Amino acid sequence: MATEDKNRATAAAILPLVGGAANVSSVVHCMTRLRLGLHDRSLVQDEALKAVPAVMGVVEDDTYQIVLGPGTVARVTPEFEKLVEEGRAAAPAPAPASATPLTAEELAAQGAEMRAARKAKNATPFKLFLRRIANIFVPLIPALIGCGIIAGLNGLLVNLGWLTSVTPALAAMASGFMALIAVFVGYNTAKEFGGTPILGGAVAAIIVFPGVANIEAFGQKLSPGQGGVLGALGAAVLAVYVEKWCRRWVPEALDVLVTPTLTVLISGLVTIFGLMYVAGEVSTAIGTFADWLLSNGGAGAGLVLGGFFLPLVMLGLHQALIPIHTTLIEQQGYTVLLPILAMAGAGQVGAAIAVFFRLPRNESIRRTIKSALPAGFLGVGEPLIYGVSLPLGRPFITACVGGAFGGAFVGFFNQLGDAVGSTAIGPSGWALFPLLDGNHGLGATIAIYAGGLVVGYLAGFVATYFFGFSKDLLAEFNVSQEPAASTVAATGPATAGAGPGTPAKEPAGV
């Protein structure tokens, strides 16, 4: 009960600071963030919100994102939704627009201007498409994590020869979701693109139906699961367009019978005799390229992947990797890319520790680092990125250097033939250990990944300590800011570390 009270208290503290229930248009959450759609951005009290103890930071994008961390966000979100519903039910009817005071109109205009500027900067067609892709796959992550951990536990028990009567049941639990993941992808895709979700799932289910093994396409027998999640995504998108076409042309009296039938029939035929083959070839090419990249590129490939992942996150382009990870997990049982990309977080941690030692007089930044480091070790990097390295500038670059060295370490062992992979996506840092898998035993896989983390920590620390600060930067920030401590703490991830007269740097869109 105490935990429930704490989560409700957190939700109750956040709601008035985002403009109240009437200002909230949508509520969703991902692994670490509460994502809110807001009617009027200008009503948000940023500084007070960032001072809420459970809030690790905020990120502005197409939604207003409040970083609460893994676990916490899944518990706070339902409480927040309840409070929003209660607030809407208790709210009086809105006043007519003509009765709105001028000051509110001015605030609304400011909010509209801010939203327009943000959209002009970030809402390119490509980024909007990537966000849609993320919205399809992110809801699947909890199942991927749970099944991945069970798969790892089952593999360990099989290797040890323990609990032989239980391991078949664990294998079924671990594999059941992955066997049907195409159906869930189809369902979410249709929902995201404005169609009937169950029709998207029905068309995608064709891909995993065992009977497709009796069908030939392009002179080859099809295989159940051929095309995987990419085929399911394409099939469901096609189903949405077919359904929308039917809604326009089919008479209402026949719609309930004709539209679902034509949607499944037309989309199903195209899926069987086209998409499954094409998507299968693309999926195979992705797996082959990933293996070739790390087998031949090795340390160099790891250096690039680990070093540039944080900028990709800042630009929102990392979402393009989600279907690639999922395809690799489908094909090989794990994705070899995620452990390398996770090194970016290690570089961030090392850089933050170096900042801690380089600014011994700046108690406000040191407090931010001390509070954010535990989350950083567990792979939640937003508080350190937005609260420490990004506002300071150079330390963000040296954190990327740390990630590059950590990625090179893991990539080097991949080139030697020791594949290090993750059976799920989402976690990073120390939280990735239970999900590790590879081709040379769990012990070697864990050792290589742990070695990569250590290299990332050390490289990020050394690069930041010796090259992360200019003389001017040290002179500006290595001073006591105790009188302004409360202000710095309140500004949190977006502006922490910004000294007097220094404008806070805006993150380049996540």
- Residues designated as active site: 30
Distance CA(475)–CA(473), nearest Å, equals 5
Q: Which two tokens stand for residue 133?
A: 């892709």
Distance CA(337)–CA(309), nearest Å, equals 11
Distance CA(365)–CA(383), nearest Å, equals 12
Sorted by sequence, the CB contacts under 8 Å of residue 411 that are 6+ apart come out as 294, 297, 298, 299, 300, 301, 302, 303, 305, 306, 340
Q: Is 26 helix (H, G, I), strand (E, B) or coil?
A: strand
* Cβ neighbour number for residue 97 with a 10 Å cutoff: 7
CA-based nearest residue to 144, from 326, 379, 283, 337: 326
Q: Which two tokens stand for residue 51?
A: 């001072």
Q: Is 221 helix (H, G, I), strand (E, B) or coil?
A: strand
β-bridge mates for residue 15, sequence order: none
80 to 46, 135, 354: CA distances (angstroms) = 18, 20, 37
194 to 37, 189, 253: CA distances (angstroms) = 18, 9, 22
Sorted by sequence, the CB contacts under 8 Å of residue 129 that are 6+ apart come out as none
CB of 245 within 8 A of CB of 216? no
β-bridge mates for residue 335, sequence order: 422
| DSSP category for residue 51 | T
Q: Which helix (H) or strand (E) holds 57?
A: strand 57-60
| DSSP category for residue 38 | E
Which is it for strands 216-217 and 33-38: parallel, antiparallel or unpaired?
A: unpaired
